[in-house]
Amino acid sequence: MLNIVLVCSAGMSTSLLVSKMNKVAKEKGLDVNVIAIAEADVKNNMDKVDVMLLGPQVRYLLPKMREMMEVKGVPVDIVDTVSYGTMDGEKVLEQALSMVKDK
Amino acid sequence: MGRIDEVLELLTQLEKEKQEGVSAADIAFILGIDRSNVSRYLNILYKKGKVEKVNGRPVLYKSIKGYISSVCDEEDPYIGFNNSLDKLVGARQSLAIPIQKAKAAILYPPKGLHTLLLGETGVGKSMFAKLMYQFAIESKVVVENAPFIRFNCADYVDNPNLLTAQIFGVKKGAYTGADRDRDGLLKKADKGFIFLDEIHRLPPQGQEMLFTYIDNGFFRPLGDAENLIRVDVRIIAATTEDPKSHLLKTFTRRIPMIITLPPIRDRSLSERYSLIETFIREESHRLGMSIYINKNSIISYLLYDCPNNIGQLKSDIQLACAKAFLRYKSEQDDYLVINQGDLPNHVRKGILNINQYRKEIEELLNSTYDVFKFDQHERPPLSLKEDENISGDFYTAIEERLESLKEAGMDEQAINEIMNIDIESHFRKYIGHIYRRFDRRGISNVVNEDILQVAEEILLLAQKHLGKEFDEKIYFGLSFHLERSIERIRRGEKIYNPKLNFIRINYEEEFLFAVKIAKLLDNKFNIETPVDEIGYLAMFFTTDSNNKFIERKPKVGVIVAMHGRSTASSMVEVANSLIGVEHAVALDMPLSMKPKNMYELTKNKVLEIDEGKGVIMMVDMGSLTNFGDMIWEETGIEVRTIEKVSTPMVIEVLRKVILGYELDEVVNSFVGKVSIKDEVSKPMRDENVIITACFTGDGASKKLESIIRSNLDGENLEIVPINIIDEERLEKRIDRLANKYNVMAIVATVDIDIDYIPFVTAMDILQGDGIEKLKKIIEQENIYSKIGESLQEHITNLDGKEITRDIKYLIRSIEKGLGLEVVSDAKIGIVLHIAFLIDNLLNGVLPRRFDNLEAYSNLYAKEMGIIRRCILLMEKKYGISVEDDELAYILKLFLLNQKLV
């Protein structure tokens, strides 16, 4: 099971994207679980994370998150703006998977 | 008999000979008074429906039959104050209700109502009963020499049989000592009145007999089983008992009219003054000489504790007069002067209460005199008499007064002195300065217990709902008011409130609350409170209503200008009358009128009505839509235009204006709504537009157009060259374009500062990276439009494209406001964030709390304010309310994503 975490500012904008990603993963038969959390809740959700993606509006968190997560071997990046803006579940899922592969 | 009655009586006499009618001059000549005064009286009579007018020159008057008999029972402020009851001290003040009830008891068809008078010792029950009798004679309910039998039940308290026999008569042998048949007082009082004082002393047997008479109109003398005696007697009973006492309940249940006379402590100081004055004058008359009294003594009489009421006041005054008279005689003084030493001890103490009442006393005795003179010659008692003319013509009253003083042969100085007091007192009554002072116990004598309870309940509710404190004055006022209004409503009399609409608009909250209260009253008293009365109720809840009603703040002007002969006029008429003001101004523009003339007309109107707050022009179409901006430029007066106006819009705008909204508040709230409608009705276009602007719209802007076109070939966009200088403001024209198209950028030869649209200078296009900037803008625009399309699929509440564009504009204006630029990638995230925020709000999803919101908003107070202002338009347009937590999230996104310059 691969745990993908999407971070945005107040959990407002990512939930739709998350559900789309989960749907795509299911269709493809991938053992993936995507969740969305708000910036403030990251601290409490650090255990079950394999990949972390940041919404473009919280891109300022990148250095901090990288520092925090990469020691655990968790890759962190920003969601591709266009994929994010168009809420393209498939593309974002691809991005997440590629981050794991690259590792 | 008052002047007005004289006039009428003379009129009826004269018209016997002059069938065609009588003129004011005829009457004035005979009465020897001024014709204009006679005219005034005739007009009053005319308004009262007592005379009719025959139009012509001069106007002739005829009486309308049936007046004479009804003159006395008129409850009219102008006339009918010549009856005995209305002459009582306090007739228009604390005795107003008792007198009103007394008149009703006398006049109630067919034979009046039996009456129970309640009140403490010495409040004047006997006198009141006698005056009711007088009133009955005056109103021709009983004949001139009808009997008035007074009987004090306490007189025979040791012998109940005898007492009962006195009233009802007795048959020989009914009890020991009844040695012959004897008629009772009740029979002697036939066709008149019997006044039964201390009625609570009547033994049970007598009570039964009395009630039999009250219920059936007949009675049997004591010990007589055969003879039924039928009489036509009106009973006035009186008692000092507490109305709640067990004993009295049997009476209050059986006697239909209950009148409570207030104790002296519950009467106003001005009333008390009138009483004092009356009594001193009576003494003066009795002694045959003027009486002087120093001011401090008057104050003592006004303020001492007087538990036995008017009766005691009178005897305390008589006592002082007697003492002063003695001194005058023994010391052979020139004047009879009452000073502090003549006052009984307990009266003298009155002056110690001065601090509590200083202000009222000063208003009441506002004169430089230290000694007051009460003159025996003046009859009926002078000055400060009851508010005879309170609603009549003040100056007529003064004139007449002067006349009568001269007739009495007084010298000029005395007249001046008296007139001084007179005018003063009249004005005081006009201004209505003096509040009645009631304590809780006192007021319960005047107002019904259940009304007092309701009043208290209402004020408690009001405190809770309106968050205001109400003092006792309001409590008393409301109680009095309710007592009277409920009675009025029950009688089916009309209630008219000329201030109704004003109150409804200016005290909306209070009015809405009053509506609730009216429901409560309706249920409780089984009445239907009319809306005018609700207006009055509302006034009680606006504590400082007195001042606010007069004050007028400058307001935004409203002009409605429409094509057509009367379109504007009729709209304005409806709006003004609904709101209850004369504020909106109509300008009709008949089709034949030239725009140029209309423009001048409009401009002058704007100049005329502007109060420094600007003017809103509400127009239909065509050239009228441009007038506002042209006038603004020409006159410097801020004019905003609202187009395609309908009557409801005029009402809404007028309402806001009257409420004191500022120009922009009114217009913005409006434009938001309108634009929603517009956009629903005409589908939005997707065309991307770049505006190029120069002064003329011809040279540079055309040139820019071609440069941009050739560089951005293949992009999906339109380029629109416009002129900067035009009758219509540039911002407005850009707004309009932005409403129709997706305006991506403005390129212009001068700086153009439109919050929500990126600006590129012409210089950059010609020599620098302008084209690059445009390309980036277009690139971003393309992402925006993708977001829009995507949102379109995912959000149900909103039009994805529209919201995307609105948010794009919002982001631009926030950037402008905060003076920063956000990196473009982050913007996409922000767009989604805000779009979902609005969607969530519309779905009723609660916002997420922002950690340490207070500290954060303190730290960034100014920035939070900017966000709030920028988001206002969205709130209005989408009907949402964005909380501080959400504002803080938004602010944080901007602050942390700003481009580092």
* Closest approach of B829 to chain A, Cα-based (Å): 4
Is the CB of residue B486 less than 8 Å from the CB of residue B525?
yes
Chain B partners within 8 Å of A63 (Cβ)? none
Measured CA to CA, the distance from residue B410 to residue B404 in angstroms comes to 9
Report the range of poorest mean pLDDT among A60-64, B474-478, B816-820.
B474-478
For residue A61, what is the nearest residue in chain B, using CA coordinates?
Answer: B896
Q: Point out the catalytic residue in the list A5, A8, A36, A65.
A: A8
Most confident of A50-64, B238-252, B577-591, B730-744: A50-64
Task: Find the closest chain A residue to B895 by CA distance.
Answer: A60
How do the domains of chain B map onto residue ranges? 3-70, 85-261, 267-431, 448-548, 557-681, 795-901
Quick check: B832 and A55 CB within 8 A? yes
Residues of B with CB under 8 A from a CB of A: 783-784, 786-787, 789-790, 794, 823-826, 828-833, 835-837, 840, 847-848, 850-851, 886, 889, 892-893, 896-897
User: Closest by alpha carbon to A12, among A87, A67, A62?
Assistant: A87
Q: Which of A21-30, B228-237, B541-550 has the lowest mean pLDDT?
A: B541-550
B860 to chain A, minimum CA–CA distance in Å? Answer: 18
A41 touches chain B (CB under 8 A): no
Which pLDDT belongs to residue A8? Answer: 83
- For testing contact with chain B, the best of A7, A13, A90 (most B CBs within 10 A): A13
Cβ of B252: how many Cβ atoms within 10 Å?
15
Q: Flag whether pLDDT at B379 surpasses 60.
A: no
User: Tens digits of per-residue pLDDT, B1-16?
Assistant: 567 777 887 887 777 7
Query: Alpha-carbon distance B438 to B446, whole Å?
Result: 10
Tokens 């500290």 label which residue? Answer: B855
pTM summary value: 0.37
Partner-chain residue, chosen from B787, B789, B889, that has the shortest CB–CB distance to A9: B889
The amino acid occupying position B745 is A
User: Above 90 in pLDDT, residue B237?
Assistant: yes
List domains and CATH numbers for chain A. Answer: 2-102 (3.40.50.2300)
List all residues 6 or more positions away from B506 whose beta carbon is below 8 Å from its beta carbon: B548, B658, B659
Lowest mean pLDDT among A51-55, B123-127, B344-348: B344-348
Q: Which residues of A touch B850 (CB under 8 A)?
A: 10
Here the tokens at position A5 are: 């975490």
Contact B753, B760 (CB under 8 A): no
Q: B399: which 2 tokens?
A: 């004139």
Cβ atoms within 10 Å of B648's Cβ, excluding its own:
11
How does pLDDT run across B492-525, given as a tens digit for each residue?
Answer: 776 666 566 767 777 788 888 888 889 989 888 8
Q: What is the pLDDT of residues B697-750, one digit of tens each?
A: 666 777 788 888 888 777 777 888 887 766 567 777 887 787 777 788 888 877
**A44 touching chain B per CB within 8 A:** no
Cβ–Cβ below 8 Å for A57 and B897: yes
Partners of A58 on chain B (C-beta within 8 Å) are: 829, 893, 896
Q: What pLDDT does B420 receive?
A: 46
Whether residues B829 and A84 touch (CB distance < 8 A) is answered with: yes
The segment with the largest mean pLDDT, out of A13-17, B60-64, B257-261, B480-484, is B257-261
Residues of A in contact with B833 (CB under 8 A): 8-10, 12-13, 55, 57
A88 vs A94: CA distance, rounded Å: 10
To 5 degrees, how large is the angle CA B778–CA B783–CA B788? 120
Cα B422 from chain centroid (whole Å) = 30
Higher pLDDT, residue B749 or B864: B864
Interface residue of A6, A8, A12, A58 to substitute, partner B, most B CBs within 10 Å: A12
Cα B750 from Cα B753, distance rounded (Å): 10
Q: Are both B85-261 and B795-901 of the same fold?
A: no
Q: Which residue on chain B is closest to A13 by alpha carbon?
A: B833
Q: How sure is the predictor about B321, in pLDDT bands with cuts at 50, 70 and 90?
A: confident
Distance in Å, alpha carbon of A81 to nearest chain B alpha carbon:
6
Contacts of B886 in chain A (CB under 8 A): 10
Q: What per-residue confidence (pLDDT) applies to B147?
A: 93
Place of tokens 């003004």: B576
Q: How far is CA B735 from the centre of its chain?
A: 45
Mean of pLDDT values over B760-782: 82
Sheet with strand B371-374: strands edge to edge: B337-338, B291-294, B371-374
Residue B432, pLDDT > 50, answer no
Interface test with A, best of B780, B804, B824, B833 (most A CBs within 10 A): B833
- Say which residue, B446 or B431, is predicted with more confidence: B446
- What's residue B575's pLDDT? 78
Nearest to A16 among B783, B794, B829 (CB): B794
pLDDT of B446 strictly over 80: no
Q: Left if phi > 0, otherwise alpha if psi is -120 to 50, otherwise beta: which for B176?
A: beta
Residue with the bigger pLDDT between B28 and B581: it is B28
Q: Give the residue from chain A lying closest to B786, CA to CA.
A: A86
B795-901: CATH class: mainly alpha
pLDDT over 60 (residue B685): no
Provide the pLDDT for residue B488. 77
Mean pLDDT of chain B: 78
**A34: distance to nearest CA of chain B, Å?**
19
Render pLDDT for B165-204 as a digit per residue (tens, 0 to 9).
889 988 888 777 777 888 889 999 999 999 999 888 888 8
Q: Is it the case that residue B532 has pLDDT exceeding 60?
A: yes
Q: Could you tell me which chain B residue has the CA closest to the CA of A40?
A: B851
Min Cα separation B830/chain A (Å): 6
Give the pLDDT of residue B366. Answer: 66
The whole-angstrom distance between B897's CA and the closest CA on chain A is 6
CA count, 13 A, side-chain hemisphere, B606 = 28
Per-residue model confidence (pLDDT) at position B228: 87
Helices (H), B580-685: 595-609, 624-635, 647-658, 663-681
* Alpha carbon of residue B326 to chain centroid: 55
Residue B749, number of CB atoms within 10 A of its CB:
18
> CA nearest B848 in A: which residue?
A10
Residue-level pLDDT at B766 = 77
What is the mean pLDDT of the segment spanning B516-535? 87
| Tens digits of residue pLDDT in A32-77 | 999 888 887 887 777 788 899 999 888 888 888 888 888 888 899 9
Q: Which residues of B touch A88 (CB under 8 A)?
A: 790
**Is A58 in Cβ contact with B832 (below 8 Å)?**
no
Residue B898: exposure state from Cβ atoms within 10 A (0-12, 13-18, ≥19) = middle
Q: A56 and B828 in contact by Cβ < 8 A?
A: yes
Name the class of domain B85-261: alpha beta
CB contact under 8 A, A40 and B851: yes
Please state the rounded mean pLDDT for residues B460-468: 80
Contact indicator for B253, B211 with CB cutoff of 8 Å = no
Window from B170-179, B299-308, B385-394 with minimum mean pLDDT: B385-394
Chain A residues touching residue B829 (CB < 8 angstroms): 8, 13, 55-59, 81, 84-85
Give the CB-side neighbour count of residue B577, counting CA atoms within 13 A.
5
Q: Which of B104-118, B212-226, B377-391 has the lowest mean pLDDT?
A: B377-391
Give yes or no for residue B474 having a pLDDT over 80.
no
Do B505 and B579 form a contact (C-beta atoms < 8 A)? yes
Least confident of B199-213, B588-602, B642-656, B753-767: B753-767
Q: Stretch B809-825: mean pLDDT, rounded?
A: 85
| pLDDT, average across residues B844-873 | 85
- Could you confirm whether A31 is annotated as catalytic? no
Does A87 sit within 8 Å of B790, measured CB to CB? yes
Question: Of B633, B585, B590, which is closest to residue B610 (Cα–Cα)?
Answer: B585
pLDDT at B761 over 90: no
- Asked if A19 has any chain B CB less than 8 Å from its own CB, the reply is no
Share of chain B above pLDDT 70, in %: 81
H/E run at residue B589: strand B585-589
Per-residue pLDDT tens digits for B600-649? 899 999 998 988 889 999 998 878 888 888 888 788 888 888 888 888 78
pLDDT-based confidence at residue B586 (cuts at 50, 70, 90): very high
- What does the pLDDT average to over B753-757? 73
Provide the ipTM: 0.90
Instruction: State yes or no: pLDDT of B472 exceeds 70.
Output: no
> Which class does domain B448-548 fall in?
mainly alpha
> Is A86 in contact with B789 (Cβ distance < 8 A)?
yes
CA atoms of B874 and B809, how far apart (whole Å): 10
**Superfamily of B557-681 according to CATH:** Phosphotransferase system, mannose-type IIA component (3.40.50.510)
Contacts for B868 with CB less than 8 Å, ≥ 6 apart: B882, B887
Partner-chain residue, chosen from B787, B829, B836, that has the shortest CB–CB distance to A86: B787
Asked if residue B424 has pLDDT above 60, the reply is: no
**Greater model confidence, B806 or B418:** B806
Q: Does B893 contact A87 at a Cβ distance shorter than 8 Å?
A: no
Beta carbons of B830 and A57 less than 8 Å apart? yes
Residue B290 has pLDDT above 60, yes or no: yes
Within B741-799, where are the H helices?
762-767, 770-794
Nearest to A66 by CA among A1, A3, A2, A7: A7
Shortest CA gap B651–chain A (Å): 40
pLDDT for residue B78: 32
Tell me which residue in A9, A40, A86 faces B833 most closely, judged by beta carbons.
A9
In this structure, whether the domain defined by B3-70 belongs to CATH 1.10.10.10 is answered with: yes
CB pairs under 8 A between A and B: 85
Average pLDDT over residues A92-99: 90
A13 vs B783: CB contact, 8 Å cut-off? no
Tell me what percent of the residues of chain B surpass a pLDDT of 90.
10
pLDDT at B242: 80
Q: What is the pLDDT of residue B365?
A: 79
Residue B394 has a pLDDT of: 34
Residues near B816 by beta carbon (within 8 Å), at least 6 away in sequence: B755, B756
